A and B are shown apart, each in its own frame.
Chain A
Amino acid sequence: MANSIANALEAPYRFITKAIWEIQSYTLLASRAVANLFTKPIYWREIIFQMDRIGIGSLTIVLLTGFFTGAVLAIQSEGALRRYGAVSMTGQLVSLTLIRELGPVLSALMLAGRIGSGIASELGSMVVSEQINAMRSLGTDPTRRLVTPRMIATIIMLPLLTITCDAMGMLGGWIIAYYKLLISSSQFWSDAMSAMQLSDVVGTLIKPVVFGFIIAMTGCYMGLRTHGGTEGVGRSTTQAVVSSSILVIAADFFLNNLLIYLAPLINT
């Protein structure tokens, strides 16, 4: 009887201890990556290289995502707004939806797919080919050399990409509003701008900083814990994309609540 209870509890016990261990390791890696910013050496060249790779390299997909999302928003909103005779408010709907929510989240999800997977597969390959061990044997801390630059680069570039995504979304929305819904440009843009509050702008800049941290750290963590050869690299890459996407959406929920709570303070 006692044995069967022990056997039944073994699986959940293992699951919980593994989950605690993963959270602890993730937190440890993240805190080390942040602490490295306050001590030398800082790999500036690597940071610039990663900024180019993450920022410039992801520009096309973010531009396209933003443009078509804004255009689709304008098209979809027409039906609902027409029912209330409020088609003229398309600019407001597009700008608020994009800047508050879709711009930051979609840019982050695009980056999670492109950069999160890239970081995990690159570091994972370095682990299985013993390059990480070689780096440590040559006196370099891989967290300082590989993780911190990727974290900084993603935190800096994702807000910039989000702003670009928002701008392209507004452009896509304007094109549909002007040519299809026959709304004048001045009405679209004045409506779009007047709807925005300072808390929306703050939100669209704070969210990508948090999302960037999550994407870079999850990619690095999954990459560095790779084991099991090339098959393991594939597994880590998939886990990095799935985990960072879920974490981004979960973080978005908490950030939205926080921003709604802080909005009166920010806007006064």
Chain B
Amino acid sequence: MIEFQNVYKSFEDEMVLSAISFRINRGETKIILGESGSGKSTILKLILGLIRPDSGQIFIDGQDITQLTERELVSIRRNIGMVFQEGALFDSLSVRENVGYRLSEEGRMGESEIDQAVLQLLGFVGLEEAIDKMPADLSGGMKRRVGIARALVGTPKVVLYDEPTAGLDPITKRVIVELMIKLRDLEGVTSVFVTHDLQAASIIATEYASAGTDGGAKIKPGGDSLCLQNINFIMLQDGLICFEGSYQELMNSTLPYIKTFTA
């Protein structure tokens, strides 16, 4: 579904990504770990076509996106939702306008239909009451949740998370992680999760969501759940992939750099 082939990227003479190759299959969760400045967020921007690689190819559903124009990339981006660090909500727009932004831009739905879709998405992240608030009135955690709701407009097949738990308290962090688990297990969304927060990554790799009898979702510890067999980790070090494998393999790794994360 998403494939990087020998991708290089540098900014002003500084190499950020070197010879990056990996593949993400449909329904898979790829967790990209690494310290700040290791090139994790750059990978997400490359997937969305927000920046272009210096060399190498990036395939989305078999199509090489590195040569596409901005206009051609719009149809690719329609199937991908992105949750930015800090939410990246539009300051001048209300929560309603932020979440319904893509629908308003497409112009295919009336105001009442957009409102209905926005309410449904805000319901998913538990923020219906914040619909008329401005981003400046929201807490850090609420901004991320609105950011998740905005990323889910149009039911994208892939959701990219750029450090969605950074700088949050443990309770809010848990709320965000549970939302990600629900999306993965109940909606079947392919996820790419970039973080340096191993604790959040561990929860995603060891817990799963299932629909309860009351219609709500329940988060349970993993065991052998099928949902958890489709999770892969990548560790970046100085722009290079130094590890690729499962959660267990990551935790058992003896590489000194990985040990600094897992210890």
Interfacial residues, chain A to chain B (CB-CB below 8 A): 41, 125-126, 129-131, 133-141
Contact = CB atoms under 8 A, between A and B. Distances in A.
B80 interface: yes
Given A133-B50, A134-B84, A140-B105, 20 more contacts: A130-B86, A130-B88, A131-B88, A131-B89, A134-B82, A134-B89, A134-B90, A134-B150, A136-B48, A136-B70, A136-B77, A137-B48, A137-B50, A137-B82, A138-B77, A138-B101, A138-B105, A138-B150, A139-B102, A139-B106
Given A130-B84, A130-B85, A137 B90 contact: no
B26 interface: no
A34 to B, nearest CB: 17
11 contacts: A130-B84, A130-B86, A131-B90, A133-B48, A133-B88, A134-B82, A134-B89, A136-B48, A137-B50, A138-B105, A139-B102
B109 interface: no
A221 to B, nearest CB: 18
A139 B77 contact: yes
B102 A129 contact: no
Contacts of A126: 91
B230 to A, nearest CB: 25
A133 B45 contact: yes
B157 interface: no
A138 B102 contact: yes
A133 B102 CA distance: 14
Nearest to B151: A137
Interface in B59-86: 70, 74, 77-78, 80, 82, 84-86
A134 B88 contact: yes
B50 A136 contact: yes
The 5 closest A-B pairs by CB, nearest first: A130-B88, A134-B88, A138-B102, A137-B82, A139-B74
Nearest to A32: B70
A137 B78 contact: no
Nearest to B74: A139
A83 B150 CA distance: 73
B77 A129 contact: no
A133 B82 CA distance: 10
A47 to B, nearest CB: 15
Contacts of A138: 77, 101-102, 105, 150
A6 B91 CA distance: 48
Contact of B84 (A41, A125, A133, A141): A133
A49 to B, nearest CB: 9
A45 to B, nearest CB: 11
A129 B90 CA distance: 9
A44 B48 CA distance: 28
Nearest to B78: A139
Nearest to A138: B102
B195 to A, nearest CB: 16
A141 B72 CA distance: 12
B78 A129 contact: no
A177 B78 CA distance: 66
Nearest to A125: B91
Nearest to B71: A141
